[in-house]
């Protein structure tokens, strides 16, 4: 069971790491080229379609990350001998990502929903680096955990 949770967590984390790098380097910067007359339709579609892509993966990552951290509380034998601190760090990074999403990026998207705002867009790109770096750190961490000798059941 632990190995299946770890594999699901690794897959969801790497999926989201890829998505966030694309968003950071391509998608968010291109928003400034949409133009004011089509902005509202674009932003609405962006938020709707992006949600279909990220909510399932983020939910899987959250659920499996919390489950892995719970296994760590049971002791080394319950988590394939992996260090509890690493599983807890993974959960903490996930919590950080969710908090950043809901307290920084979502409010900025809500501000941008009404009209394109240069300052809000700039802040969105800047604050999204927090999630980009956190997901990158998670991807490295879960890869290290996976390579640290977990046997697949």
Express each pLDDT in 131-141 by its tens digit. 999 999 999 99
pLDDT score of 151: 53
Residues 136 and 124: their CA atoms lie apart, in Å, by: 18
Residues of the chain above pLDDT 70, percent: 97
pLDDT score of 109: 95
Low-confidence ranges of the chain (pLDDT < 70): 149-153
Per domain, the residue ranges of the chain are: 2-147
Question: Taking Cα atoms as reference points, which of 116, 153, 115 lies closest to residue 33?
Answer: 116
């Amino acid at each position: 069971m632990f190995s299946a949770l770890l594999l699901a967590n690794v897959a969801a984390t790497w999926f989201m790491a890829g998505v966030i790098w694309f968003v950071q380097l391509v998608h968010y910067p291109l928003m400034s080229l949409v133009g004011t007359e089509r902005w509202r339709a674009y932003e609405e579609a962006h938020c709707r379609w992006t949600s279909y892509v990220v909510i399932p993966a983020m939910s899987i990552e959250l659920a499996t990350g919390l489950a892995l951290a719970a296994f760590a509380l049971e002791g080394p034998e319950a988590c394939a001998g992996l260090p509890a601190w690493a599983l807890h760090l993974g959960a903490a990074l996930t919590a950080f990502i969710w908090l950043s999403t809901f307290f920084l990026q979502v409010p900025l998207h809500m501000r941008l929903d009404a009209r394109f705002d240069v300052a809000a867009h700039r802040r969105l790109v800047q604050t999204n680096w927090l999630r980009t770096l956190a997901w990158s750190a998670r991807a490295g961490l879960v890869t290290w955990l996976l390579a640290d000798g977990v046997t697949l059941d």
